[in-house]
Amino acid sequence: MAATSPVAPCDIIVFGGTGDLARRKLLPALYLRDRDGQLAADSRIVAVSRAGLDDAGYRDKVSAELRDHLPSGSYDEAAASRFLARIHYVSIDVAEKGSWLTLIALFKDAPQRVRVFYLACAPRLFGSICSGLRAGSLVTEQSRVVLEKPIGHDLASARRINEEVGAVFAEEQIFRIDHYLGKETVQNLLVLRFANAMLEPLWNSGSIDHVQITVAETVGVGGRVGYYDSSGALRDMVQNHLLQLLCLVAMEPPNRMDADAVRNEKLKVLQALRPLTGDEVHHRTVRGQYTPGLVEGSPVPGYTEELDGAASTTETFVALKAEVQNWRWAGVPFYLRTGKRLEQRASEIVVQFRPVPHSIFPGISDGAIATNRLVLRLQPDEGMRLHLVTKEPGPGGVRLRQVPLNLSFAETFKSRLPDAYERLLMDVVRGNPTLFMRRDEVEAAWEWTEPIHAAWADSRHRPQRYAAGTSGPTAATALIERDGRTWHEEESA
Ligand code: BG6
């Protein structure tokens, strides 16, 4: 069971309270923290949206959603009724001054409590919500605001949002969430690197040939087509989740686990990324879009069918080759890929070590000895595997075989791995921003991805088609194979 050191009494106000994120992720995460005794007795959750509901109507909805979205076996009748009693619902039209009054009235008796304003709504509303909070005198010293991604659409819009929010909240009150940083396996990457002395001496271009970061999903865009079609995989996944993973792999050791120490190091990695511009974008990136196919045995429509047949050049798949230009990583490519409607859900970081310099084994040439590889599995089957070369048992000479040392978190720790939002929401209440993105990081990530978009937009090429249920466009295979390497495909456990 997750650790349950209680957090201070708080009010958590979720804008976008009837939205997908609130229903699928935030409320289930808060329920689980409450069930495990982490929320103080009088903490409240206030859902805000435009829908005309009252407390009872909203609680009924949440009660049904919890059963749908909680991990099996987590729903407990008594815990759920205590949780539902904490919930209030307020209907607001952000643009209408008068409609804020009910929300303002809810807070007049609790000025000292921690207030978390969670903006789980479209980023174009962030500025007006923050102005509304200020106009209603709702922002206190103990307040924090959480910004869901995407923070903008490009560098200019991200800057504008950061300015608007920054006019109301101080930077240390702003929590820009990237839920990948709350995943247990992602935090474990920091522990693996900085709590094990044996890896750090090898963690550089002297021993590492290349790194692969894959986030493969089987889901399509489902009910999010409106958002997704104006976003695409580069904005939706690479600009944030994949670049954050790259930062954690590539960063220098911070001197302590402190918000600014960690984020300073991540920022340096983003700033050291070799810019991809112009023609080079076409050599080093691949974008794809899924067509109808079979995913996990079921037929699924293609992306444009999900858009009701409208033509679209939005990418649902990206693969690219990045480089971090510094002493540690010079010459070590980082291959990134992510896509929807792929063959299987599998997210992993693969650190591929260099081959041995010389074979001493008779009949086995230098190149025939498999190389060591560390695979950090983010989901599913969280864990890590270190692939080593061993002697196959038996007489008749030395035969080499690569076998994995396997650490499965489920088997080793025998406990539920908490969802990323559980950890991150409690960090916000505690006021700990270590696992959140700072303004300069978000802007640096946009700065790097923007020229890729620009080159794609100028190009006469369209995204390459790939059938749903496959591993993506063949050009993504070619991208890595051109360099004499292959994508890692983990054999099942
Ligand atoms: C979100 C993206 O940030 O992350 C989604 O907007 C994506 O498109 C999701 O499906 C993936 O998250 P997870 O935790 O399921 O890997």
Q: Are residues 347 and 273 in the same domain?
A: yes
Are residue 336 and residue 386 in the same domain, yes or no? Answer: yes
The ligand 1 atom at the shortest distance from the C-alpha of residue 217 is 10
Residue 426 within a domain: no
Q: Has residue 346 been placed in a domain?
A: yes
- Residues listed for the chain: 493
Q: Is 349 helix (H, G, I), strand (E, B) or coil?
A: strand
241 noted as active-site residue: yes
**Residue nearest to ligand 1 atom 6, measured at CA:** 236
DSSP annotation of 147: E
pLDDT at 161 over 60: yes
Average pLDDT over residues 236-264: 97
Of the residues 88, 210, 241, 387, which is catalytic?
241
> What is the per-residue pLDDT across 55-64, written as a single tens digit (0 to 9) for each?
999 999 999 9
Indicate the burial class of 83 (C-beta count within 10 angstroms; 0-12, 13-18, 19 or more): buried
pLDDT of residue 254: 97
H-type helices in 332-438, by residue range?
A: 409-413, 420-430
The Cβ of residue 437 has, within 10 Å, a number of other Cβ atoms equal to 27
* Token pair listed for 180: 């990948």
CA dihedral 346, 350, 356, 357 (to 10 degrees): 130
* Alpha-helical regions (H) of 231-358: 233, 243-250, 259-272, 278-284, 303-306
Among residues 136, 456, 192, the alpha carbon closest in space to that of 314 is found at: 456
| Mean pLDDT calculated for residue range 2-15 | 85
Question: Which atom of ligand 1 approaches the CA of 378 most closely?
Answer: 16
Domain final position from 148, 166, 194? 148
What atom in ligand 1 is closest to the CA of residue 379? Answer: 16
**Residue 158 domain flag:** no
Give domain status of residue 3, yes or no: no
Question: Averaged over 399-407, what is the pLDDT?
Answer: 94
- Residue 69 burial by CB count (10 A; 0-12/13-18/19+): exposed, middle or buried? middle
Q: Is residue 173 part of a domain?
A: no
How many Å lie between the centroid of ligand 1 and the Cα of residue 186?
14
Q: How far is the CA of 53 from the centre of ligand 1 (A)?
A: 28
- Give the pLDDT mean for 407-434: 93
Which ligand 1 atom is the nearest neighbour of the CA of 231?
A: 6
- Name, in order, each residue with C-beta under 8 angstroms of 100's C-beta and a sequence gap of 6 or more: 92, 132, 135, 136
**pLDDT for res 223:** 82
Label the pairing between strands 208-216 and 346-353.
antiparallel
Give the whole-number percent of the chain exceeding pLDDT 70.
99
In a domain, 486, yes or no: no
Distances (CA, A) of 137 to 49, 103, 105, 112, 168: 19, 11, 11, 13, 11
Residue after which a domain boundary falls, among 148, 163, 196: 148
Packing angle, helices 55-69 and 27-35, rounded to 10: 80
Q: Is 202 left (phi over 0), alpha (psi -120 to 50) or beta?
A: alpha
Instruction: Encode pLDDT of 177-215 as tens digits.
Output: 999 999 999 999 999 999 999 999 999 999 999 999 999
- The residue type of 136 is G
Q: Measuring CA to CA, how many Å separate 455 from each of 316, 323, 450? A: 17, 18, 9
Ligand 1 pocket member 236 (CB < 6 A): yes
Residues 140 and 194 in one domain: no
Ligand 1 center–CA 20 separation, angstroms: 12
| 187 and 334 both lie in a single domain | yes
Please give the average per-residue pLDDT across 297-326, as a whole number: 95
Question: What is the best residue among 179, 239, 381 to mutate for testing ligand 1's pocket, by most ligand atoms within 8 Å of CB?
Answer: 179
User: Which of 41-45, 140-144, 412-416 has the lowest average pLDDT?
Assistant: 412-416
75 and 133 in a single domain? The answer is yes
Domain end position, chosen among 92, 123, 148: 148
- Count of CA atoms in the C-beta half-sphere (13 A) of 218: 14
Instruction: Please give the pLDDT value at position 493.
Output: 41
Together in a domain, 298 and 392: yes
- Using the atom order of ligand 1, give the atom closest to the CA of residue 224: 8
Q: Tell me, using a 6 A CB cutoff, whether residue 217 lines ligand 1.
A: yes
d(CA 343, CA 293): 10
Q: What is the pLDDT of residue 491?
A: 62
In which element (H, E) is residue 452 found?
helix 439-458
pLDDT category, 397, cuts 50, 70, 90?
confident
Tell whether ligand 1 has an atom less than 6 A from the beta carbon of residue 348.
no
Q: What are phi and psi of 23, to 5 degrees?
A: -75, -40
Region of residue 323 (phi > 0: left; psi between -120 and 50: alpha; otherwise: beta): beta
260-307 pLDDT, tens per residue? Answer: 999 999 999 999 999 999 899 999 999 999 999 999 999 999 999 999
Nearest Cα to Cα of residue 34 among 416, 425, 435: 425
Tokens found for residue 102: 């009910």
Q: Would the pLDDT of 2 be above 80? A: no
How far apart are alpha carbons 491 and 380 in whole angstroms? 13
Do 139 and 199 share a structural domain? no
Phi, psi of 395 (to 5 degrees): -80, 180
Q: What angle do CA 81, 44, 7 make, to 5 degrees?
A: 100
Beta strands in 380-474 (DSSP E): 383-391, 400-408, 464-467
How far, in Å, from the CA of 241 to the mean position of ligand 1?
A: 9
pLDDT band at 492; cut points 50, 70, 90: very low
Predicted local distance difference test score (pLDDT) of residue 489 = 86
**Protein residue with its CA nearest to atom 13 in ligand 1:** 180
142 and 189 in a single domain? The answer is: no
pLDDT for 342-387, tens place per residue? Answer: 999 999 999 999 999 999 999 899 889 999 999 999 989 899 999 9
490 within some domain? no
Residue 243 reports pLDDT greater than 60? yes
Give the Å distance between the CA of 96 and the centre of ligand 1.
32
DSSP E strands: which ranges in 239-303? 285-291, 293-295, 298-300
* Cβ partners under 8 Å of residue 137, min gap 6: 104
Residue 143 shares a structural domain with residue 219: no
CATH of residue 88's domain is: 3.40.50.720
Instruction: Return phi, psi of residue 406, to 5°.
Output: -115, 120
Q: Residue 1: its pLDDT value, please?
A: 46
Ligand 1 midpoint to CA 203 (Å): 29
What is the residue with the minimal CA distance to atom 9 of ligand 1? Answer: 237
The conformation of residue 418, written as its DSSP 8-state character, comes to P
Ligand 1, pocket-test mutation among 236, 239, 245, most atoms within 8 A of CB: 236
DSSP bridge partners of 87: 45
What mean pLDDT, rounded, does the chain reach? 94
pLDDT of amino acid 3 = 54
Structure tokens at 186: 């992602």
Global pTM reads 0.95
The whole-angstrom separation of Cα 294 and Cα 299 is 4
Amino acid at 154: D
Domain count, the chain: 2
Residue 433 lies in a domain: no
Query: Does residue 122 share a domain with residue 222?
Result: no
Mean pLDDT across the stretch 83-97?
Answer: 93
Do 209 and 137 belong to one domain? no
Which domain does 190 fall in, by range? 181-417+438-481
CATH no. for residue 450?
Answer: 3.30.360.10
Per-residue confidence (pLDDT) for residue 396, from 0 to 100:
83
318 lies in the same domain as 463: yes
